[in-house]
Every structure is written in C-alpha cells, then in structure tokens.
Amino acid sequence: MRRFLFPLAALAVAGILPLVGCGSGNQLTARVSGTVKHKGAPIKAGAVSYYHESLGVYNSVINNKGEYEIETLPAGNYSVTVDTNAYDPERKVGTYGIDNKGAGGGDRQRPGGGGGGGGANDKKQAKAQEKQKEERANTERQGGFGPPAPKTKEELKEMFTKLDDKYVDRNKTPLKATLKNGKNEVNLDAD
C-alpha cells in the first residue's frame, strides 16, 4: 500500500507545482505622473483619465501647476483623455430629473404629455441635490482631492482651459501612452 501512495503523492505535487506563480499576484503595476499643458502653458484644473485596452479606466485630478499622478495601474497600452469642462464658467449645470419631462418623455406642461406636475417638490428636490453635490465636493477638497472650489465666475475663468472635444473622447483622443512596470513619467500636450 505504501508503494502505491508515494507515486500518487509525487504525481499530485508534480501537477500542482506548474500552477504556482500563475495567479494575479504577479500582475505588473505601474505608477504614472507628469504635467498637462495646452499651447505650452500648464492646465490649472481638470482631470486626466487613462483607459487601459481591457482593464478599465484610471483617473487623476490636475492640480494648479498642471501636474497629475496615478499611483497604481496595470502596465500596458492606454488611450489618455484630458477633461477641463467642469471648470467652464459658461457651462450650464443641469439637475437630473428636473427638466419638465415626465417618465414617458412627454412635456409636463401639456395635458397628456406624460409624467406629472409637482413643481414645489421638484424645486425642493433640486435644492437638496445641489446641497448634496456641494457637500460631496467640499468633502473631496478637504481630503486633498482636486483644486479648491472657485468662488466666482472670474476665478473659474482663471482656472479654465478650453480644449478641443477630441481630448475628452477616449475613441478620438490623439494622446496615447505605454506604461511599464514601475515609475513612468508621461507629459501630455493637449494643443
């Protein structure tokens, strides 16, 4: 019986050994940092997004010196986008669900247009959503995420850099990067 168990145990070990080291723990990780410029000047506010071919998206805010950093992401090929639209002083901010349209897409102002009235409740809901959004933004700023909140339209104008729409679309962006394991420096020029 012992003679039979030893070869069986040896086969089991031989079958397991090739699998050691094949787990996801061996996946390479990269770190990327750099600057973002437009026509030679640093972009003062916005976001950089790295889109991996198959493993998702990794984001970073741009500080007022035009710098960004993403600590951990997989090595590989990326499409890179730069979005500054949140700082556009002329941007119209909509509130979800408050647009005079009902669930059926009809107009609430016309009879039979779908949805239903509720004007006072809509205003309360819109105010509550705006308050939540501002509280969330303040919490993020206190945690060191993103630039400080601009207080006036003039401050927004100072921070905002208008970029071509292609830099926001991951399928149209000309910005590409190949990251290797370890530290990478990628300076982006969104001209």
* Percentage of residues of the chain with pLDDT beyond 90: 43
**Facing residues of 11 across strands?**
none
Q: What average pLDDT does this structure show over 85-108? A: 59
- Domains belonging to the chain, first-starting first, are 27-88+160-191 (2.60.40.1120), 92-150 (no CATH)
Phi, psi of 59 (to 5 degrees): -120, 160
Q: Nearest Cα to 191, choosing from 159, 158, 164?
A: 164
- Residue 112, SS3? coil
pLDDT higher than 60, residue 130? yes
Q: What average pLDDT does this structure show over 166-189? A: 96
The answer to whether the CB of 73 falls within 8 A of the CB of 29 is yes
Q: Which residue has the tokens 């007022």?
A: 64
pLDDT band at 132 (very low <50, low <70, confident <90, very high): low
Q: Which of these ranges, 80-84, 95-99, 184-188, has the smallest mean pLDDT? A: 95-99
Q: Write down the pLDDT at residue 157.
A: 87
What mean pLDDT is reported for the chain? 75
46-52 and 76-83 strand pairing: antiparallel
Torsion region of 115: left, alpha or beta (phi above 0 gives left; psi -120 to 50 gives alpha):
left
pLDDT band at 60 (very low <50, low <70, confident <90, very high): very high
Top pLDDT among 80 and 112 is at 80
pLDDT higher than 50, residue 90? yes
Question: What span, in angstroms and rounded, lies between the C-alpha atoms of 114 and 95?
Answer: 19
Q: Write down the pLDDT at residue 8.
A: 44
pLDDT band at 92 (very low <50, low <70, confident <90, very high): confident
Q: What angle do CA 154, 160, 162 make, to 5 degrees?
A: 130
pLDDT higher than 90, residue 125? no
Top pLDDT among 93 and 85 is at 85
Q: What is the pTM of this model?
A: 0.60
